[in-house]
Structures are given as C-alpha cells and as structure tokens.
Amino acid sequence: MEAGAVRMSEELDAIEDRILDGAGADDTGPLAPIRRRAVRLRRQVAGLGAVFHRLEAETDDDGDALPEAVMTMAARVVQRIDSLDRDMGVLAERSRLLQDEIAGRTAAQTNRQLFTLSILTSLFLPPTLVTGVFGMNSKGLFLADFENGSTIALGIGALSSLAVFLVIRRLGVAGRRG
C-alpha cells in the first residue's frame, strides 16, 4: 500500500507539473483513476485501522492482556496504518484540488470564448438586420430604384457595425478579458 501511495504521489506530481506549465491543463483523464484508487485504499486502510484500534481498546479493558511483544507490534502497525490513512487522505484531496484547478481553467477558457462570440454576435447583428431589410421583395423599398442602392446598403451595414463596435469600446467591454 505504501508503494502504491508513493506511485500515486509521483503521478500526481507529474500531473500537477503539467497543469502548472499549462500543457494538458484541460485533461482530467489521469486524475480520476488516481483519486478512485486513493479513496478505495483509504477505505481499506480505515477498516484495517479500526480492527487494530479495537484490539488495543479491548485489550486495555478486559484485563486479559496480550503479551507485551504482540502489543508493541500492534502499536507499530496502528501507527503505520494511521500514517497510510493520512497519506491516502492527502492524495485524495490533492487529486480533488487538481480536478478543481482544471475545471476552473476550463471554465475560464470557455468564458473567454463565449465573450468573444458575444462580441462578434453584437458586431454582426446590425448588418444582418440591414441585409434582411434590403433583401425583402416589397414595393416602395428604400433605395430600391436607386442605381447605387446596394452599395449604400453595404455602407449602412458597415457603419452600423462600426457604431456597435464604438459603443462596445466606449463601454469598455471589448478591451476587457474575462
């Protein structure tokens, strides 16, 4: 169990280094098995520890004490089991914190992408409206009989998009990174 704990700790160290370096910062795949193993081993160690703690407690209460050598050995085993229990708890907590870190970075990246998409949507909305209005087939449409009507419609779309961009910049939304 101790060798497994050392291996899991080394694996977590490698994953943590990759996360801090930014490489593979959104890959939670290797963490789940480590966390699962740590939790399972901790349960097993806790059960084993409970048995040895009961052995110590019952021996003290009954008066029919076990030989001193057995009690010394049991005390050493209890110390090692308690140490393993703490180690497994630390490993499970480290893996959970690393998963939280990855989830936070993934959420921040998603927010940046949604922010960019929202800005682009707001920039293309006015030209889309202008294109929709000038694309209608109805009588008496504004600039329908004018020779350069399409050019003017394109200019109106570009100007409306520029106006939205200037409003966004003026509000300070486009310069901010979220």
Dihedral, CA atoms, 113, 115, 118, 124, nearest 10 degrees?
-80
Gap between the Cα atoms of 40 and 88, Å rounded: 9
Q: What is the mean pLDDT of residues 109-117?
A: 90
Q: Is pLDDT above 50 for 127?
A: yes
128-148 pLDDT, tens digit each: 887 777 776 666 677 777 788
Q: What is the rounded CA–CA span in Å between residue 18 and residue 33?
A: 17
Q: Cα(first)–Cα(last) distance of the chain, in Å?
A: 44
- Residue 35 near residue 95 (C-beta atoms within 8 A): yes
pLDDT tens for 12-40 read 888 888 888 876 656 667 788 888 888 88
Q: Which of 92, 72, 80, 76 is nearest to 1 (CA)?
A: 80
Checking if the pLDDT of 61 tops 60, the result is no
Amino acid, res. 130: V
Q: How confident is the model at residue 111 (pLDDT cuts 50, 70, 90)?
A: very high
Phi-psi region of 143 (alpha: psi -120 to 50; beta: other; left: phi over 0): left
Domain ranges (residues) in the chain: 2-171
Query: Tell me, what's the pLDDT at 176?
Result: 55
φ/ψ region of 22 (left if φ > 0, alpha if ψ in -120 to 50, else beta) reads: left
Instruction: Give pLDDT, residue 178.
Output: 46
Q: Model confidence at 150, in pLDDT bands (50, 70, 90)?
A: confident
Q: What pLDDT is attached to residue 114?
A: 92
Task: Note the pLDDT of residue 39.
Answer: 85
Tokens of 161: 């998009």
Helix 31-62 to helix 68-134 angle (10° resolution) is: 150
d(CA 82, CA 91): 14
pTM over 0.75: no
Taking alpha carbons only, the member of 93, 85, 91, 73 closest to residue 49 is: 85
